Amino acid sequence: MFKRILLSVIVNLFFLQFVFSYDWLYVRDPQGWKGGTGTIEDAVISIKPRGLYMEVGLYLVFSAKGLGFTSNDALEVEFHFDLPEKAIVHDSWLWIGDDIIRGKIMDKWTAASIYEDIVNRRRDPSILYKRSSTQYELRIYPMAGDWKRKVKITYLVPAQWNASKVFAELPMNLLQTSNYGIENIYVLTWLDQEWKNPCIVEFPEIEFEGHSDDEFGDYISAVITGEAAFSNLNFALDAPLNNGIYLNRSEVNSEGYYQMAFLPSAVMEFQDYKKVAVLVDYDASNSSIMKSEIINTIKSDLNIYLTEKDSFNLILSQLNINRASDKWIPADSISIENTFAELGENPMADYSNLPTLLANGIDFVKSNGNEGSIILVSNSDQAGDYQVANQLIDDLVGLMDVKFPIHVVDFQNQNYEYHWIGGRYYYGNEYFYTNITRLTTANYNNIRSVYSFQSILTNAFQSLGGFLSSFDLHTSLDDGFCYGRFNLNDYSETVYLDRPVLQIGKYKGSFPFNIEVSGMYEETVFSNEYKIEESAVSEVDSLSEEIWVGNYIHDLESQVQTNDVINEIIDYSIKERILSIYSAFLCLEPSRGGEICYDCMDESSLVGIQESNIESVNDSLIAYPNPFNSTTKIKLTLSNVKNNSTLSLKIYNTLGQVVRSFEKSSNISDQIEFIWNGKNDQGQDVATGNYFGIVSTPEKVYKLKLILVK
């Protein structure tokens, strides 16, 4: 009975972890039940611009560190992770000793049968599946209890574009699955004259340094350490737009492929300079997202989506509203940095003051010429009832001399109240937000639609420049035609001026390349043509074909799955080495039909990560219980302790902010314990989610992942 109850508790905790984060790493004995959270010993991220996509090569070294296994144990690694929608996985490698085995792609049923047969025979495979449009699973077997296994996953991810930057999210969510923190995360990139100035958007102080290697040529690298390793990070380059247009092409086996970015605001010159007041209202009980993440993400998007010619203000909810300035602030990077630096440690309350905040924001825009927009960032739910909402809307609109847009970013993701209004349910303040945005010709973005605060805030910023309705874009050649087009950011009748149209397609014929656009802007119909001469088109490599095929497979996967569609997906997947929901990458040892890849270039060798015995676990940092729902005991075991030493434990959230600090000093023993009750330094409960504990000693730093489940 006790074992049954214990197993039930473990399963429930495991399921709860799955609910709030699909990414998890588990190491187990497939012949028994023993297992635990695995560790990523080393990580290298190779990232390269590939037109509208970034190609990511993720090198990982797994271990069972701290789980009590020995060299006699043959373990299986299970790695479940998310990638962005429309990501294209096109390679998988497994190291066997010093040899690289490149994955074979085959239908998933055949691959699974071979893998399971080999696991039973205790041989050497890895298998990589695509479980859904965003979810993936990697399995590796065997791994001795005191050994490491090294892999590489290569994928293409759609980049995000604006007038100044092209950026893509680094796979930090995958790395944060590690039980023990990763000491250093290396980022490597190879650039040419078209792509310049690499940076980490959230941590611009992280420096990229140039290097030269006889085998790998000139490359640029950076090291991510400390709090940055626990954050969501974006890698960015300067946007290679030419008068608002980027176009590349490649020809593969007599087929022509192109990739195009078309930024309406830069090409069509419709837009005035932007002015935006960002209003933030925060109810600590209604969201698992911390205030620090809200503030840092707003700061990042101001830098990304506004130019030096634009203006902003920041207005935060307190008992007395905290307005950064009574005048518009220039949106240059220095002014943005200074504004946020002056906010102080606690710039907004933990309770909602939404009506007063909105009234203050409207007053600010009125006092500065009625020119500008508002972005309301809120998780309040106090105006959910239709009577309250309608009265508040009337009062707010009555304050306006001229209606101006109030865009809403609703990030409430817990403690919903439901309101039945007009034959449907509304969540929280949804009825109020829906109607205030309609009346002010603005947009409502809620976290329930995409489950990402970064995404809904980005949508709001891209809405500021207005939109083109009934928009149509057609591409052709002077001598030929274009076909097989895919739009990476789907549009139907509305295109936002500041949101580039990203399109890939095929062509037959010869350049120049023609772009025809038509639609309506502010009740004025337009029709324009743009001609791109061959000399202005970038030449790229054959990955354009894989990008097109990846989008074709994604389109097929979204259709009704008939046998014909499934066979088409499998055929293209195997022919082009593109992972689909019906295929798998399988790495086999040579004696089982695998082939050593002699021309696979191991970029991680530039920083020297490899398989080997894991580090001694005589020194260890563990937590029990973990996951936990109220209190956990964090225990550090040291083999060599100096008297009069001082130890500090800091608990970080996934954005890299310290939420709780501990310190022990003088005459410490070889076993030191800390008790964390799931509260921050102010005594407030922190939200459900992943956290990271770091203990610093004079000799070494120890890292540990903590999972809080409420």
The CATH number for 289's domain is 3.40.50.410
Residue 560 domain-assigned (yes or no) = no
pLDDT of residue 644: 57
Task: Answer yes or no: do 283 and 206 share one domain.
Answer: no
Residue 158 domain-assigned (yes or no) = yes
Rounded CA separation 195/48 (Å) = 10
Residue 435 domain-assigned (yes or no) = yes
Q: In the predicted model, is pLDDT for residue 70 greater than 90? A: no
Compute the mean pLDDT over every residue in the chain, rounded to the nearest whole number: 87
β-sheet bridge partners, residue 596: 101
Q: Who wins on pLDDT, 486 or 704?
A: 486
**Residue 156 pLDDT class (50, 70, 90 cuts):** very high
Task: Answer yes or no: do 386 and 508 share one domain.
Answer: no
pLDDT of residue 656: 65
Torsion of CA 516, 520, 526, 532, to 10 degrees: -30
Q: Who wins on pLDDT, 220 or 674?
A: 220
User: Backbone phi, then psi, for 68, in 5-degree steps?
Assistant: 85, 10
- The candidate with the shortest Cα–Cα distance to 489, out of 294, 296, 201, 260, is 260
Task: Answer yes or no: do 258 and 279 share one domain.
Answer: no
Lowest mean pLDDT among 409-413, 615-619, 677-681: 615-619
**Residue 199 pLDDT class (50, 70, 90 cuts):** very high
Last residue of a domain, one of 418, 445, 462: 462
pLDDT of residue 118: 74
pLDDT of residue 11: 37
- The candidate with the shortest Cα–Cα distance to 375, out of 307, 285, 427, 301, is 301
Rounded CA separation 226/183 (Å) = 8
Last residue of a domain, one of 418, 447, 462: 462
pLDDT digits (tens, 9 = 90+) for 524-554: 899 999 999 999 999 988 799 999 999 999 9
Q: Let me know if 205 is exposed, middle or buried by CB neighbors in 10 A (0-12, 13-18, 19+).
A: exposed
Task: Answer yes or no: do 215 and 345 share one domain.
Answer: no
**Residue 375 pLDDT class (50, 70, 90 cuts):** very high
pLDDT of residue 231: 77
Mean pLDDT, residues 83-105 taken together: 93
Lowest mean pLDDT among 11-25, 32-46, 666-680: 11-25
Residue 547 domain-assigned (yes or no) = no
Task: Answer yes or no: do 52 and 200 share one domain.
Answer: yes
Q: How many domains does the chain have?
A: 4
Lowest mean pLDDT among 231-245, 258-272, 453-467, 610-624: 610-624
pLDDT digits (tens, 9 = 90+) for 311-352: 999 999 999 999 999 999 999 999 999 999 998 778 899 999
User: Backbone phi, then psi, for 639, in 5-degree steps?
Assistant: -90, -20
CATH number for the domain that contains residue 64: 2.60.40.1730
Residue 562 domain-assigned (yes or no) = no
pLDDT digits (tens, 9 = 90+) for 29-66: 887 778 999 999 999 999 999 999 999 999 999 999 98
pLDDT of residue 345: 75
Task: Answer yes or no: do 382 and 399 share one domain.
Answer: yes
Residue 259 domain-assigned (yes or no) = yes
CATH number for the domain that contains residue 639: 2.60.40.4070
Q: Report the percentage of the chain scoring pLDDT > 90.
A: 54
User: Backbone phi, then psi, for 286, in 5-degree steps?
Assistant: -105, 5
Task: Answer yes or no: do 200 and 52 share one domain.
Answer: yes
Residue 615 domain-assigned (yes or no) = no
Number of Cα atoms under 13 Å in the Cβ half of residue 497: 18
Task: Answer yes or no: do 279 and 412 share one domain.
Answer: yes
Residue 704 domain boundaries: 620-708
User: Backbone phi, then psi, for 288, in 5-degree steps?
Assistant: -85, -5
Give percent helix, percent strand, percent coil of the chain, each to the nearest 5.
25, 40, 35
CATH number for the domain that contains residue 517: 2.60.40
Task: Answer yes or no: do 506 and 411 share one domain.
Answer: no
For the chain, the straight-line distance linking the first and the last C-alpha, in angstroms and rounded, comes to: 25
Q: Report the percentage of the chain scoring pLDDT > 70.
A: 90
Last residue of a domain, one of 431, 462, 493: 462
Task: Give the global pTM.
Answer: 0.78
Task: Answer yes or no: do 188 and 96 share one domain.
Answer: yes
Task: Answer yes or no: do 309 and 327 share one domain.
Answer: yes
Task: Answer yes or no: do 391 and 493 share one domain.
Answer: no
Residue 613 domain-assigned (yes or no) = no
User: Backbone phi, then psi, for 297, in 5-degree steps?
Assistant: -70, -40
pLDDT of residue 6: 39
Lowest mean pLDDT among 13-27, 67-81, 112-126, 444-458: 13-27
